[in-house]
Amino acid sequence: MESIVINPKSKDEAKFTTDLLQRMNISSKVITEDEKEDFGLLMMMKEVDRNEKVSREEVMKKLNS
């Protein structure tokens, strides 16, 4: 099933939204900023072309810059 991501502007708005969803018997989960970042990294990792090879020198050059 599809999901909806909601970014409330304040703690009050977040509380109102979660309370409303709860009253409507709609399952919801609050995630942390770290979890959002992890999800973004996961999506980027899934999109990577794993066939292309990069040399160790190129990787080290990027890390040092």
pTM: 0.57
Q: Side-chain half-sphere of 57: how many Cα atoms within 13 Å?
A: 0
Q: pLDDT tens digits, residue range 29-48?
A: 999 999 999 999 999 988 88
Give the C-alpha separation, 23 to 19, whole Å: 6
Q: pLDDT tens digits, residue range 8-20?
A: 999 999 999 999 9
Domain residues of the chain, as ranges?
1-48
pLDDT band at 22 (very low <50, low <70, confident <90, very high): very high
pLDDT band at 54 (very low <50, low <70, confident <90, very high): confident
